Amino acid sequence: MPYRKLLTIQDISCVGQCSLTVALPILSAAGMETCILPSAVLSTHTAGFSGFTVRDLTEDMPGIAAHWKKENIRFDAVYTGYLGSKEQIGYVQDIVGSLRVPDGKLIVDPAMADNGRLYPAFDAAYVEEMKKLAFSADIILPNITEACFLTDLAYRESYDEGYIAALLDALTERGAKTIVLTGVAYDASHTGVAVREGGVTRYYEHRKIAKGCHGTGDVYAAAFVGALENGFDAYAAAVLAADYTVRCIEVTQGDASHWYGVKFELVLPEFIRMLGK
């Protein structure tokens, strides 16, 4: 594979394994030059820590992009995660339009909701802006809640294959090209991912580990992008990312002091082998 330059845009928590803290090493391990644009800097992530600091970087984003344009820097792919405001989404759209190479992919993780609700910082206006970004992407990686907000379909805690098919159809009708729908569980002991690519839907199921871990969605998305940019198709990348994420959770279990994330670093050698490197 050629040496590729990828840009990932999301926040960075200085402590706590999520967002850029996992994306940068995982994508680098996949063999790519990984460039970053932090949307905010936090002392820690916000799940379980108190008194954390936050520095919003919205005002810095246009100047950074302008400097890149001046230096004629271009990116072979762009991958977005958590974006803190609709203004940031607008800046990202400009960056994608002006700094991505013509055949480069845009991969969007519309990180804005879970368990049937938007994250506290977001509102309906944010959702409308995210729709513009998501439906312009080559690949989107929503969970079920995010898919519902993107399509205005009702959220269900329990569902069947027909409901998932309807969600995928609605996303496709609104402009989604390739969809990786995460967190699809048809029973209590399993979960998985439904992939719609080229009009074909495939589902990969694996065992569900009872105790959840913060940041696994970011681990999954970064591993998926790493596999995709190494020549895997969307379904194969989704399977690899799921297997890697499960292994990260497994090696973290039993350590009560490590409640804030997964020890993904310990599994990076396996990830590299999964990629065939």
Separation of alpha carbons 149 and 131, rounded Å:
9
Q: Which CATH architecture has domain 5-274?
A: 3-Layer(aba) Sandwich (3.40)
SS3 65: helix
Beta strands in the chain (DSSP E): 5-15, 33-44, 54-56, 75-80, 100-108, 113-114, 117-118, 139-140, 178-182, 190-197, 200-207
For residue range 119-174, list pLDDT tens digits in order.
988 999 999 999 999 999 999 999 999 999 999 999 999 999 999 999 999 999 99
pLDDT at 137: 98
pLDDT beneath 50, residues of the chain: none
pLDDT at 207: 82
Where do we find the tokens 């100047």?
Answer: 63
All structural domains of the chain with their residue ranges:
5-274
User: 103: Cβ–Cβ under 8 A, 6 or more apart, which residues?
Assistant: none
